[in-house]
Structure 1
Amino acid sequence: MSQLITYSVYHSYQEIAPFNFETDSVFLSKTYFEALEKSAPKNMKCHFILLFQNQKVEGVALAQFLDLNHLASFGERDKCLKSLVRNFVFKNFSSHVLFIGNNMLSGQNAFWVSPTINKSQAITHIKNACLDIIAHYKKAGIKIHITTFKDFEKEELTYFTDSYFLDNYCFSTQPNMQFSILENWTTENDYVMALSKKYRDQYKRSRKKCDEVVKKKMHLHDIVQHQKKMYELYYYVAKNAPLNTFFLKENHFEILKKQLHDSFLVYGYFLNNELIGFNTLIKNGAIMETYFLGYDDRFQKEKMLYLNMLYDMVGYSIKKGFSKIIFGRTALEIKSSVGAEPTEMFGFIKHSNKIINYFMPKLFPYFDPKVSWTKRSPFK
Structure 2
Amino acid sequence: MHRNFLKSIEKNHPNINFKYIILVDENLKPKAFTSIQIINFNLEAIQNNLESFTKKVKEIGRKLHIIPNKKPLKILISGNTFVSGEHGIFINQTEDKKSVIKDLAKAILQLTTADNKLKIDAFLLKDFENESLLITDELKNYGYHPFSVEPNMILHLNDNWQNFEDYLAAMKTKFRVKAKKALQLSGALKIETVTLNNINQHLPKMTQLYQKVATNASFNLADFNLQTYIDFKANFGDNYILKTYWLNDKIVGFLSGIINHNALDAHFVGIDYKYNKTHAIYQRMLYDYVQIAIQKKVNIINFGRTASEIKSSVGAEPNDLTIYLRHKKRITNRILKLFLQGVQPTPFQQKFPFKKINLNENYQSIN
Q: Which residue is 2:38 aligned to?
A: 65
Is 2:36 the partner of 1:36?
Answer: no
* 1:62–1:111 contact (8 Å) kept in structure 2: yes
Separation in 2, partners of 1:308, 1:379: 18
Is 2:351 the partner of 1:379?
Answer: no
- Matched position secondary structure for 1:269: strand
**Closer, same or farther: CA 245–212 of 1 in aligned 2, 3 Å:** same
Is 2:185 the partner of 1:214?
Answer: no
* 2:82–2:224 contact (8 Å) kept in structure 1: no
Q: Which residue is 1:322 aligned to?
A: 298
Separation in 1, partners of 2:142, 2:107: 18
Given the two structures, how large is their TM-score scaled by the length of structure 1? Answer: 0.84
Structure 1 unaligned segments of length 5 or more: list them: 1-27
Q: Which residue is 1:288 aligned to?
A: 264
Residue type of the alignment partner of 2:336 = M
**Closer, same or farther: CA 74–162 of 1 in aligned 2, 3 Å:** closer
Separation in 2, partners of 1:341, 1:159: 24
Q: Which residue is 1:198 aligned to?
A: 174
Q: Which residue is 1:244 aligned to?
A: 220
CA-based RMSD: 2.7
Shift of 1:274: 1.4
Residue type of the alignment partner of 2:312 = S
Shift of 1:271: 1.2
Match of 1:104 among 60, 79, 82: 82
Q: Map 1:38-53 to 2 at 5 A.
A: 38-40=11-13, 42-53=14-25
Counting matched residue pairs gives 347
Structure 1 runs (4+) deviating above 4 angstroms are 75-94, 161-164
Match of 2:235 among 248, 259, 270: 259
Q: Map 1:1-380 to 2 at 5 A.
A: 28-40=1-13, 42-53=14-25, 54-68=27-41, 74=45, 92=70, 95-137=73-115, 139-140=116-117, 142-160=118-136, 162=138, 165-366=141-342, 368=343, 370-380=345-355
Structure 2 unaligned segments of length 5 or more: list them: 356-367
Range with bigger deviation, 239-248 or 253-262: 253-262
- Matched position secondary structure for 2:86: coil
Shift of 1:195: 0.5
Separation in 2, partners of 1:37, 1:216: 28
- Matched position secondary structure for 1:338: coil
Separation in 1, partners of 2:72, 2:183: 45
Identity %: 28
Separation in 1, partners of 2:183, 2:68: 42
- Matched position secondary structure for 1:344: strand
Shift of 1:121: 2.3
Given the two structures, how large is their TM-score scaled by the length of structure 2? Answer: 0.86
**Closer, same or farther: CA 268–82 of 1 in aligned 2, 3 Å:** farther
Residue type of the alignment partner of 2:141 = F
* 1:76–1:239 contact (8 Å) kept in structure 2: no
**Closer, same or farther: CA 292–357 of 1 in aligned 2, 3 Å:** same
Range with bigger deviation, 277-286 or 90-99: 90-99
Residue type of the alignment partner of 2:18 = C
